[in-house]
Amino acid sequence: MRVYGVIMAGGGGTRFWPLSRRQLPKQFLSVTGRDALINETFDRLAEVAPPENIFVVTGTAYAQKAMDIMNGRIGSERILEEPQARGTAACIGYAAMELLHKYGDGVMCIMPSDHYIEDEAGYCRVLRRAVELAAERDALVTVGIKPQYPATGYGYIRSSAVMGTDGRPEDYRKIEEFVEKPPRIVAQEYLSLGGYAWNSGMFVWKASVILDCYRRLLPDIYEYLSEISRAFGKPEEKEVLGRVYPKIPRNTIDYGIMERAEGVLMLEGDFGWNDVGSLDALALFGEADAHGNVCMGESLMIDTGRTISYSSGRLIAAVGVEDLMIVETPDSILVCPKNRAQDVKKVVEELQAKGYEKYL
């Protein structure tokens, strides 16, 4: 059975300012110090799906940028342009239609473009098993991450172990519930109860199977997508896409499908996953010194502890501070406590409000 990779790269994340910018969102940054996150995503995925079967879905504004940064990994015909961001339901449905009608049915491995994975071999093992399940049972499969701590920044998946025909537990689980980002106290309860995993936003299923779910569960979206698909290969394809896509109701795959479909399966992954959702994730990509400081670029930490410094070229000197993030780029400096990392988006909001375009 054909295996496809679909990389969702539409995000314009703002919590990574000043590193991420409107013109250069997180997926295009090399925050790991190795390569751009989208390239690391592609290269991981290429271990499971043939490289020529990997597609990128992104906004028209980012298409050229993706081409440039992924240099040679992918041809323009495999970059699907969303005329407008309409949520993951539209994005994934569009990709499924494109694959089914232009390339033939197959198992889609749908991945966010801007996550970090430490153990790539472990990731590939789980993903290959997901492909088997999706191919053999027409199942909707998602990857849940074994929780490492009571995270409040992730959604959770409650699942139950399933029994095989031989009465022994299967490696996959049956999803019972998707839960929103919980308060700390609740997250702690999830960890002690067990049976909860982090929602990674990775999905594996056949194009034909997911589109059948759209037909049943999201008929309005399905109708718009069908209208678009009927123009595939015709001269008016681009025009139709540009006219119809923006009409698709905004929805996420989680609300629209995952929480409502029957018998969704989950494989638990434990391969050092992180969604790189805020600047404090930078600590993952450097070595901590004796006082827990993680410094990328030239730095001098004096009487300073558990602080992250990221320099694009200049010396960052800190004296007598703790649990701080100090990020330097050619045009901006950000100083923020690690536990306020979520509020970095306020800077972007403020810059927008003040019309400081050049810093956005």
Closer Cβ to its own copies, 230 or 346, answer by number? 346
Here's the x/- map for its own copies, 328-357, by CB under 8 A: it reads as x-xxxxxxxx--x--xx-xx--xx--x-x-
CB of 146 to its own copies, least distance (A): 31
Helix (H) or strand (E) holding 143: strand 141-145
CB of 324 to its own copies, least distance (A): 7
Here's the x/- map for its own copies, 248-287, by CB under 8 A: it reads as ----------------------------------------
Closer Cβ to its own copies, 261 or 321, answer by number? 321
CB of 337 to its own copies, least distance (A): 5
Residue type, 136: E
CB of 335 to its own copies, least distance (A): 5
CB of 351 to its own copies, least distance (A): 7
CB of 333 to its own copies, least distance (A): 5
How many CB atoms are located within 10 Å of the residue 235 CB? 8
CB of 306 to its own copies, least distance (A): 14
Cis peptide bond upstream of 18, omega within 30: yes
* CB-based contacts of 236, cutoff 8 Å, min separation 6: none
14 to 33, contacts with its own copies by CB under 8 A?
A: 17-18
CA distance 228 to 100: 13
The SS3 of residue 248 is coil
For its own copies, the binding residue among 187, 248, 257, 326 (CB under 8 A) is 326
Annotate 110-149 with b (16+ C-beta within 10 A) or e (fewer): bbbbbbbbeeeeebbebbebbbebbbeeebbbbbbbebee
Here's the x/- map for its own copies, 296-325, by CB under 8 A: it reads as ----x-xx-------x--xxxxxxxx--x-
Annotate 30-50 with b (16+ C-beta within 10 A) or e (fewer): ebbeeebbbbbbbebbbebbe
Closer Cβ to its own copies, 121 or 302, answer by number? 302
Does 291 sit near its own copies (CB under 8 A)?
no
Cβ-contact 99, 4 below 8 angstroms: yes
Closer Cβ to its own copies, 68 or 357, answer by number? 357
Strands 116-117 and 156-163: unpaired
Q: Dihedral of CA 290/296/301/306: which sign?
A: negative
Strands 116-117 and 141-145: unpaired
Interface with its own copies (CB under 8 A):
17-18, 300, 302-303, 311, 314-321, 324, 326, 328, 330-337, 340, 343-344, 346-347, 350-351, 354, 356, 359
